[in-house]
Amino acid sequence: MAENKKIHNALKQVHTETSCTSVSGFSVSGLATYFQLPELDFCIDMGECPLSATSINHVFLTHAHGDHGRCLMRHHSLRKMMGVERESIYYMPKNICDGAREWIRAEAMFEGVPESKFRYPEIVPVEAGELKFLEYRKDLALKPFEVKHSIPAMGATLYHYKKKLKDEYLGKTPDEIIKLRESGVDITREVYDPLVSFMGDCMGESLLENSHVFQSKVLITECTFIAPEDYAMSHKKGHTHLSQITEALKELDDQVKCEKIILSHFSMKYPDKYIRDMVEKEIPEKFREKVVVFI
């Protein structure tokens, strides 16, 4: 296989459209990973921070590796520099919050911020299985889950939350509905619609261990290794091999409800064409239209 001589520029973004948001960003293993979902006011990771990310208020850090988190505070400081007054919110796994605070403080001291002026950004610890409404988007809720990687790491599903009329009241007139509501009857039920699931960095088995991610409209998952001879390597490094995505799709088959499956975080050693050819060849025909190669 020819070495990939293409220069990867993390500020040169890849774009794709989905039915619930556009996705812009960059994701190459070891270089940088970030995804901007502007319609959901949400960013996944911040391995690089283009100016277009500064208008986004919520950022989720999947794990502490530098290619995913390096520019978290750049996001914070660029916003201040550009006069964005709203505090950005940084969600991250609870078990890395202390480390993140130490790192943020050390960076500020290194940059010469006086002790008296130093202030931590808004960090929100998240735990697996806990539903959290986004700070500025109460119609969106986040539910993280643990994944297997070389260090503690999490993925999450973003749900659209709404109240819907209970089925038994669907045929009622507006007047009847108003009367029912006034008499104190609870006529609504809560609905959580899974919009986007993202895995962060993980081993392939994390997909089937969290198979609910295949219910989301959009699934963003890593696919670091694709060459058949790299299978053992993918396990050793805590990453996913393309064949494991293929297996998961075959096993779940009709249970896969995703409209789009975005494959990202490819190893930089693979040329673009090789990646596209292998994905085309390996992904079962039934799912090929749904799969987007994020390069």
Q: Which positions touch Zn ion (CB under 5 A)?
A: 65, 67, 201
Decide whether 137 or 238 has the Cβ nearer to Zn ion.
238
Decide whether 148 or 290 has the Cβ nearer to Zn ion.
148
Dihedral angle of Cα 237, 242, 247, 252, to the nearest 10 degrees: 100
The CA distance from 279 to 260, in Å, is 14
- Check if the beta carbon of residue 244 is closer than 8 Å to that of residue 201: no
In the structure encoding, which two tokens stand for residue 47, read together? 């391995």
In the complex, the smallest distance separating the C-beta of residue 16 from Zn ion, rounded to whole angstroms, is 19
Decide whether 144 or 194 has the Cβ nearer to Zn ion.
144
In the complex, the smallest distance separating the C-beta of residue 91 from Zn ion, rounded to whole angstroms, is 17
User: What kind and span of H or E run contains 59?
Assistant: strand 58-60
In the complex, the smallest distance separating the C-beta of residue 18 from Zn ion, rounded to whole angstroms, is 22
The CA distance from 272 to 242, in Å, is 15
The CA distance from 152 to 155, in Å, is 11
Decide whether 69 or 194 has the Cβ nearer to Zn ion.
69
In the complex, the smallest distance separating the C-beta of residue 45 from Zn ion, rounded to whole angstroms, is 8
Give me the sheet containing 14-17, strands edge to edge.
Answer: 14-17, 22-28, 32-37, 42-44, 58-60, 89-93, 122-126
Decide whether 216 or 264 has the Cβ nearer to Zn ion.
264
In the complex, the smallest distance separating the C-beta of residue 285 from Zn ion, rounded to whole angstroms, is 30
Angle at 205 between CA 201 and CA 206, to 5 degrees: 50
